[in-house]
Amino acid sequence: MGQGGSDAASPNPQTASDIVGFRVSSWPNAGKLWRVPEEEENLDEEGAIERLNRALALQYRSVLQYTLSSGSLFGFEFQAFGDRFWEFARAELDDARRLVEKITALGGEPSTEVAELRWTGDPGNAVAWLIESESDAIESLQAAIEPTGREGRSEALEHMLEHLIMRKQDQVDYLMRGRRQA
């Protein structure tokens, strides 16, 4: 019943029961809020900046490694890979910028360290190194999720990292398919 004992629904319900149409108090946990411990709710800015900087060093390598590989694979049968690797390098550069922006937004200073690069003209070895180094970068991005917490900006950071991981994993999958023998 609505306000004033009328059978018509009130435009301004007075109780939770009026809103949902049954007695909420019959639920054992009605009115109780589940709370995450405060130390897990808040973004650990220092921890996030540290882990994002570790990931950034690997991200710089990704940009450079794909660029290096895009222009240096030998053999006509591998030239098409060069164009695809160049596409990957540009996507990696976009992601490096996202990491730099997030680090500075959190009050940190972005790393200028670049993880180890390798060059080989052998396409098989180049792809194997790309798979290994990109797998390391994916794990580093995943590790950066841990200190994010549960507040809104934490969730945004976590989702950004998940999108970077997903895009990188798609590239690794492409490389794995390219290496696969029938």
From first to last of its 182 residues, the chain has per-residue pLDDT tens of 444 444 555 455 555 555 555 555 555 555 555 555 666 678 889 999 999 999 999 999 999 999 999 999 888 888 888 999 999 999 999 999 999 999 999 999 999 999 999 999 888 999 999 999 999 999 999 999 988 888 888 899 999 999 999 999 999 999 999 888 76
Are 69 and 128 found together in one domain?
yes
Are 80 and 113 found together in one domain?
yes
Q: What pLDDT is attached to residue 2?
A: 46
For residues 143-168, one letter each, b for 16 or more C-beta atoms within 10 angstroms of the residue's C-beta and e for the rest, the string is ebbebbbeeebbeebbebbeebbeeb
**Number of domains forming the structure of the chain:** 2
Are 123 and 105 found together in one domain?
yes
Long-range contacts of 152-156 (CB under 8 A, 24+ apart): 153/43, 154/42, 154/43
Are 47 and 30 found together in one domain?
no
Are 30 and 49 found together in one domain?
no
Q: What pLDDT is attached to residue 132?
A: 97
pLDDT digits (tens, 9 = 90+) for 1-10: 444 444 555 4
CB 42 within 8 A of CB 151: yes
Q: What is the pTM of this model?
A: 0.76
